[in-house]
Amino acid sequence: MKNRITSAKLIILLLILFISFDAAAQVQIRRAMTLMGSRFEVTLVDKDTTTANTHIDQVVSEIDRIENLISEWRPETQLSEVNRQAGIRPVKVDKELFELTERALFFSRISDGAFDISIAAMDKLWRFDGSMDSLPSPHAVHKSVAKVGYQHIILDQEHSTIFLTLAGMKIGFGSIGKGYAADKGRELMQKMGVQGGIVNASGDLSTWGKQNNKKPWAIGLFNPFKPGTMVKVIKDKDIAMATSGNYEKYVDLEGKRYSHIIDPKTGYPATGLVSVTIYGPSAEFANGLSTSIMVLGKQAGLRLLKQYPTYKAVLITDKGQIIK
């Protein structure tokens, strides 16, 4: 009997040691890369370095797959074909692209057109790559806005087609594409059983689980008016976030700063807010809200946000006011 008890104790002890060793064997690996024309960072808490790097490779492949579907710059994508056939004919697309377009039109409707993926038609008018040295003429702005309007994006669910009714129209997913990619990367890793991580698409990110030290992920929001300082640190184990701001992609002309976030109705860069950060369950949804609110402005933007209580916001006005 004594030997049996000793054996049982030994088995329990070995089991405890195995569990402890397994927990201690976890690693936290981070890798940075350029995807979708932007800096991405993938951080995973995994059982070992080799497995973590294999999983990161899978995230990269997933994001590249998404880019090959929704990129407006790669000529071979379905989205590029939709743009080429603007004003000519509907284009049959995969269910994934069709549903992403549906969700984009949802944001257009709830924001009364402040969010509009057809703003892509103005990509040659406003350039934020350092090559712009003068303001576009009012006539050029007015002419370009004529090709913008989500009402002219026609979806046929039965045939899974997208039709841009105006010749010269163009749609793009720069406003929600990175948030969508972050969400899909997180979804893939959760299916693979990865215990925790962050897929960070240039500030649009999705997290799950906890850090290797068992603490929640801590996401800091920097203050563009005070470099090196943060306005808020968000700690949670499952959170998604998106930030729209005018302090990184902009051009200074004639003594005034013009940002890359364009008001679809006026054709001019949005003013009033410097930064809008939205956080909640989905980075894609947060992306749609942050872009909409940047264009709508503080008052109308906060009214829109109140309709979606699972999402919270940090707004910074051009006067430096911080609204949490």
53 and 199, same structural domain? yes
Mean pLDDT of the chain: 89
202 and 281, same structural domain? yes
Q: What's the CA gap between 315 and 324, in Å, rounded? A: 6
139: domain CATH number is: 1.10.3980.10
In a domain, 1, yes or no: no
pLDDT tens sequence across 204-217? 999 999 999 999 99
Asked whether the beta carbons of 72 and 81 are under 8 A apart, the reply is no
152 and 220, same structural domain? no
Longest dimension (CA), the chain: 96
**Helix/strand/coil percent split, the chain, to 5:** 40, 25, 35
255 and 141, same structural domain? no
Look up the pTM and report it.
0.88
Q: What are residue 259's DSSP bridge partners?
A: 250
Q: What are residue 317's DSSP bridge partners?
A: 273
Q: What's the CA gap between 178 and 195, in Å, rounded? A: 22
Q: What is the DSSP string of 43-55?
A: EEEESSHHHHHHH
236 and 122, same structural domain? no
In a domain, 32, yes or no: yes
In a domain, 230, yes or no: yes
In a domain, 148, yes or no: yes
278: domain CATH number is: 3.10.520.10
In a domain, 54, yes or no: yes
In a domain, 60, yes or no: yes
Count Cβ atoms within 10 A of the Cβ of residue 90 and give its class: 0-12 exposed, 13-18 middle, 19 or more buried: middle
Domain count, the chain: 2
291 and 182, same structural domain? yes
Name the H helices within 174-282.
177-191
pLDDT tens sequence across 41-80? 999 999 999 999 999 999 999 999 999 999 999 999 999 9
Q: What's the CA gap between 148 and 168, in Å, rounded? A: 9
99 and 62, same structural domain? no
- Which of 134, 164, 194 is the C-terminal boundary of a domain? 164
Residue 5 three-state SS: helix
pLDDT confidence bin for 135, thresholds 50/70/90: confident
What is the span of the domain harbouring residue 258?
28-71+175-323
pLDDT confidence bin for 177, thresholds 50/70/90: very high
82 and 67, same structural domain? no
User: Which amino acid type is present at position 324?
Assistant: K
